[in-house]
Amino acid sequence: MRRISVDTITKNIKEMCIEANLFLTDDMRKALLEAGQHEENPLGVQILNQLQENLAIAGEERIPICQDTGMAVVFVKIGQEVYIEGGSLEEAIHEGVRQGYVEGFLRKSVVGDPLIRENTKDNTPAVIHYEIVPGDGLQLTVAPKGFGSENMSRIFMLKPAEGIEGVKNAVLTTVSEAGPNACPPFVVGVGIGGTFEKAALMAKKALTRPVGSHSEIEYVKDLEEELVDRINRLGIGPAGLGGTVTALAVNINTYPTHIAGLPVAVNMCCHVNRHAVREL
């Protein structure tokens, strides 16, 4: 049995909230740099260069990459041989988010009730997803999610007969309707299968997969590549002002589903696709 204190978890969550909002992961930096080399529209190239300049300023001045520092989404992969000591795991995560957003001077965007809409003033609570796995490891992923892209996400409950063409149409329709509102170039997370909520969770988690990696399932890998190509031929381009780079990646997760259904969730993400991952 391995013991991990709640103080350690809080400290890491705090640091990760700040890190994710100030710095891009290496895969996203590389993807944006390559996008500038592939973009054919001069205005698109100019916008991508401005995004690079923005990233440099954010890192040097230690200010957020984007003014919308998002709602904190936390994925927790915890080994069944881990014992959390000193308090509640969930409260430790919320406290880490609280400290990160307050001490990091990040915008607080969470309201305590979806209809009364009074700001909680510390960006809590976080949205937390748990996965219990064998062993004594603890992996934390913090993914601040801005709502410019979140608001353009969709879920489709397709008929099984719609098949793979229905899936393609769902993704392309979502991206087309998102247009400039989701701050392209996009990373598109897709969840296929499971149930209504499982598809959405898979789509969200797909956004944390490194850009440039692909599904181990051959037909899914082919689908990812085809959709990136078709999205980039929509002409939306950087900032929605036209161009040949609209998507940096399409990441797809799949899961078994019911004979009567074909759930498809499409979670749009802007060009920063913020997340930080740590193993404790």
Task: Please report which confidence band the pLDDT of residue 266 belongs to, taking 50, 70 and 90 as the band edges.
Answer: very high
pLDDT of res. 161: 98
pLDDT digits (tens, 9 = 90+) for 9-60: 999 999 999 999 999 999 999 999 999 999 999 999 999 999 999 999 999 9
pTM for the complete prediction? 0.95
- Residue identified by tokens 């923005």 is 54
pLDDT of res. 271: 92
Q: CB-based contacts of 101: which residues, under 8 Å, 6+ apart? A: 17, 69, 72, 107, 108, 122, 123, 124
The span from the CA of 182 to the CA of 162, in Å, is: 27
The span from the CA of 223 to the CA of 144, in Å, is: 27
The span from the CA of 169 to the CA of 166, in Å, is: 5
Please report the domains of the chain, with CATH numbers, ordered by start residue: 2-20+65-145 (3.30.360), 148-273 (no CATH)
Percent of the chain with pLDDT over 70: 100
Task: Please report which confidence band the pLDDT of residue 264 belongs to, taking 50, 70 and 90 as the band edges.
Answer: very high
CB atoms within 10 A of CB 45: 18
DSSP-H helix ranges across 86-192 = 89-103, 147-150, 163-178
pLDDT of res. 160: 98
pLDDT digits (tens, 9 = 90+) for 119-170: 999 999 999 999 999 999 999 999 999 999 999 999 999 999 999 999 999 9
Identify which of 189, 167, 193 has the alpha carbon closest to the alpha carbon of residue 255.
193
DSSP character string of 247-278: EEEEEEEEEEE-TT-EEEEEEEE-TT---EEE
pLDDT digits (tens, 9 = 90+) for 157-210: 999 999 999 999 999 999 999 999 999 999 999 999 999 999 999 999 999 999
Q: Tokens representing 150?
A: 């979140």
Identify which of 277, 3, 9, 274 has the alpha carbon closest to the alpha carbon of residue 140.
277
